[in-house]
Structure 1
């Protein structure tokens, strides 16, 4: 029950930071992202699933995803564009494949080599909060 309370708190906090975005919109974005990545629908994300989802978006298979590839192939939700901006750490217009391992390690907080829905929600909510804080002005 404590874990659920943490998620609710983080999502509520995200809602307050998200200008005009509601808790439901943040949750819908997390849901779409999780469903896109959890290819086998077992309610967990394994590294191979995250890499597989990434490969689907990397249309030209150059091991980096451009903003146009991400926009065209990523999960469809309100925060997609600003999430790319947040993940493009060096501002070169691409997110490298190596970023996948880094994201996975951060998401897998208990280091059991699978990412639970709870772990994903906490990571995703923090990512969206940072993206809104840093790039929210890009939202329509």
Structure 2
């Protein structure tokens, strides 16, 4: 299964704090839904790996095979607090870049029923849990 650590690119890249503890699960989901809508290009309420690849190609503006925080920020339609934590989590080694392999890794983790596509519910649960866990671990989120 393809999985991409599509989940958080920050680790001390910013200096502003966001207290996501003030957001409900539903508000986090609503804040992330615009990203799902952009990736689900055929609007069938599922993300297939081909849609994920096409979205990646649009985000990787300089086509070097990696997405920087700036590229991600410029393409993210989610609330600032949310895209920041997603980038931070996806940039697991803290080098400031996310590779396509990371994105496919996260895709595989989101596909909880192994049907080779990610439903809106799987997407929502994955990202809301990611943000809620980040808040539990750090007490706040750094945003760039």
What do you get for the CA RMSD once the two structures are aligned?
Answer: 2.1
Could you state the TM-score of these two structures normalised by the residue count of structure 1? 0.78
Matched residues in 1 for 2:137 and 2:64: separation?
A: 28
Q: How many residues align?
A: 124
Structure 1 or 2: more helix by fraction: 1
- Higher relative contact order structure (alpha carbons within 8 Å, sequence separation ≥ 6): 2
Structure 1 or 2: more strand by fraction: 2
Residue equivalent to 1:67: 69
Per-residue Cα deviation, 1:48-72 (whole angstroms, up to 9, x for no partner): 1111112111001111100010001
Per-residue Cα deviation, 1:77-136 (whole angstroms, up to 9, x for no partner): 231112111110000001111112211111111111111112111111122223434563
SS at match of 1:138: strand
Structure 1, unmatched stretches of 5+, are 1-16
Residue equivalent to 2:34: 32
Q: Given the alignment of the two structures, is residue 88 of structure 1 paired with residue 91 of structure 2, yes or no?
A: yes
- Give every structure 1 segment of 4 or more consecutive aligned residues whose post-TM-superposition deviation is greater than 6 Å: none
Q: Given the alignment of the two structures, is residue 138 of structure 1 paired with residue 142 of structure 2, yes or no?
A: yes
Residue equivalent to 1:56: 58
- The CA deviation at 1:139 is 4.6
Structure 2, unmatched stretches of 5+, are 1-18
